[in-house]
């Protein structure tokens, strides 16, 4: 039994040694995957976080102070322009209207009396009964009475307008937001919280930010920023649940101010909202497609970034690598770069294992398929080695 155990242990050790040597041979060589640059047509997408707002979001605030006596709408209700939303206690303001109306009536009576006096003075003056002074006095009294009527009517109009403020109406068509105040609540023009918000969501505006660098790039296009915006392709909206909104949008304008805290400027895209799926205050992501004809596309995993500069390892005819700087389009999809300079069609470059390379190092180029096969072989050898160790441990027990 002891002899059999010893032979088993020796055989196991030999197997482990053989596996180890095979693994070292597979991973210790100088082979690296190399690809040849080819140009082609591609469409890349750039994604920006976005905020969704109605094309018109109007905060509804009271113009007079008082207790709410009636709430005429509910959250999410569609309302029209001029529709009554709230009623504020109007007893005091109605009394002011009645008082102003009484003042108009009084002033009108005084005007009628002054008119009769003036007309009578005109007759007396024509008969030389009174002089010019008396006639002018009657005329002045009549003019003063006319002014008093006009002033009383203006006060009445003001009182009526103030009374109308007790009936809070929607200034635009839209959808009612939240209703923080209920019947009985005391509100005033100085209240920090609005009565509600009316959002016109027939068309939605989606706000997203561009960096100052990207904004300057657009501004340098022929025709300036307005021409660049007009030439931008239709954009898509990715909703918060990851789905793509069925309607495509169009970038229509850009803020003229750069936010000093973020170094970015706001862009605004508009989307039709016929089914009222989009709600004001929502969030999502704007997706901007960009077509590139005859472009050189490389994976970002094939590059090295050092101090905002991007490098690749190109491979010469002598199979020696060269640390080569490239420039790329600042807009990318997060996975690939569109190379604008530094590489040309027919150049070869290393796609993986860049951390082990150094400038001028000679390599053995292999295809990407062969590289993936080597990785699978290494994984199998690693799994086999682990199984052997487990077998040895079991034998020792």
Q: How far is CA 369 from CA 34, 224, 357, 373, 394, in A?
A: 10, 46, 20, 6, 38
**In CATH, what number is assigned to the domain containing residue 135?**
1.10.287
pLDDT tens, residue by residue, 123-156:
998 988 898 999 999 999 999 999 999 999 999 9
pLDDT of residue 5: 44
pLDDT tens, residue by residue, 338-378:
888 999 889 999 999 888 899 999 999 998 888 888 888 87
pLDDT of residue 212: 83
Tell me, yes or no, whether 381 and 309 share the same domain.
Answer: no
Tell me, yes or no, whether 299 and 232 share the same domain.
Answer: no
pLDDT of residue 363: 93
Tell me, yes or no, whether 317 and 286 share the same domain.
Answer: no
Tell me, yes or no, whether 157 and 251 share the same domain.
Answer: no
Confidence of residue 297 (pLDDT cuts 50, 70, 90): confident
Range with the lowest mean pLDDT among 12-26, 224-238, 379-393? 12-26
Tell me, yes or no, whether 155 and 76 share the same domain.
Answer: no
Q: What is the mean pLDDT of the chain?
A: 85
Phi, psi of 143 (to 5 degrees): -65, -40
Residue 286 tokens, joined: 């704007």
Q: Say if residues 365 and 348 touch (Cβ distance below 8 Å).
A: yes
Tell me, yes or no, whether 178 and 189 share the same domain.
Answer: yes
Angle at 295 between CA 292 and CA 299, to 5 degrees: 105
**DSSP characters over 129-182:** SS-HHHHHHHHHHHHHHHHHHHHHHHHHHHHHHHHHTTEEE-SS-EEE------
Which one of 239, 269, 290 terminates a domain? 290
Tell me, yes or no, whether 387 and 286 share the same domain.
Answer: no
Q: Coil, strand or helix: which one is 222? A: coil
Tell me, yes or no, whether 96 and 83 share the same domain.
Answer: no
Confidence of residue 382 (pLDDT cuts 50, 70, 90): low
Tell me, yes or no, whether 81 and 170 share the same domain.
Answer: yes
**In CATH, what number is assigned to the domain containing residue 236?**
2.40.30.170
The top-scoring range by mean pLDDT among 10-14, 21-25, 138-142, 379-383 is 138-142
Tally of domains within the chain: 5
pLDDT of residue 225: 81
Strands (DSSP E) found in 240-318: 250-254, 264-272, 283-299, 304-306, 309-315
pLDDT of residue 15: 42
Tell me, yes or no, whether 105 and 219 share the same domain.
Answer: no
Higher local confidence (pLDDT), 36 or 231? 36
Phi, psi of 135 (to 5 degrees): -65, -45
Range with the lowest mean pLDDT among 61-65, 84-88, 189-193, 330-334? 330-334
Which one of 237, 258, 290 terminates a domain? 290
Over range 176-195, report the average pLDDT: 93
Range(s) of the domain holding residue 250: 47-54+201-290
Which one of 193, 209, 231 terminates a domain? 193
């Amino acid at each position: 039994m002891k002899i059999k155990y010893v032979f088993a242990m020796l055989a196991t050790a030999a197997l482990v040694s053989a596996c180890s040597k095979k693994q070292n041979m597979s991973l210790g060589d100088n082979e690296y995957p190399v690809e040849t640059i080819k140009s082609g047509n591609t469409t890349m997408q750039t994604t920006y976080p976005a905020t969704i707002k109605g094309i018109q979001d109007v905060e509804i605030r009271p113009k007079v102070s008082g207790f709410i006596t009636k709430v005429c709408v509910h959250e999410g209700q569609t309302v029209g322009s001029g529709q009554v939303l709230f009623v504020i206690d109007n007893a005091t303001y109605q009394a002011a209207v009645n008082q102003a109306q009484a003042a108009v009536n009084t002033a009108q009576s005084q005007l009628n009396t002054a008119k009769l006096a003036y007309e009578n003075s005109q007759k007396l003056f024509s008969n030389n009964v009174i002089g010019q002074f008396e006639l002018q006095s009657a005329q002045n009294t009549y003019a003063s009475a006319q002014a008093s009527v006009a002033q009383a009517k203006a006060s009445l109009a003001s009182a009526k307008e103030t009374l109308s403020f007790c009936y809070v109406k929607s200034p635009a068509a839209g959808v009612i937001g939240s209703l923080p105040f209920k019947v009985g609540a005391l509100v005033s023009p100085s209240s920090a919280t609005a009565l509600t918000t009316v959002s016109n969501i027939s068309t939605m505006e989606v706000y997203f930010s561009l960096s100052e660098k990207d904004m300057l790039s657009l501004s340098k296009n022929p025709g300036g920023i307005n021409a660049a915006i007009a030439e931008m392709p239709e954009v898509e909206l990715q909703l918060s649940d990851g789905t793509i909104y069925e309607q495509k949008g169009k970038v229509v304008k850009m803020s003229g101010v750069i936010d000093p805290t973020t170094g970015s400027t706001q862009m605004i895209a508009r989307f039709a909202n016929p089914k009222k799926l989009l709600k004001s205050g929502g969030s999502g992501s704007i997706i901007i497609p960009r077509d590139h004809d005859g472009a050189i596309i490389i994976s970002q995993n094939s590059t090295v970034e050092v101090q905002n500069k991007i490098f690749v390892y190109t491979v010469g005819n002598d199979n020696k690598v060269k640390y080569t700087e490239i420039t790329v389009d600042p807009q990318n999809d997060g996975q690939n770069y569109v190379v604008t300079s530094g590489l040309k069609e027919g150049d070869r470059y290393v796609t993986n294992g860049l951390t082990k390379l150094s400038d001028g190092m000679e390599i053995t180029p292999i295809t990407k398929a062969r590289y993936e096969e080597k990785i699978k072989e290494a994984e199998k050898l690693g799994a086999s080695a682990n199984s052997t160790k487990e077998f040895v441990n079991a034998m020792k027990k």
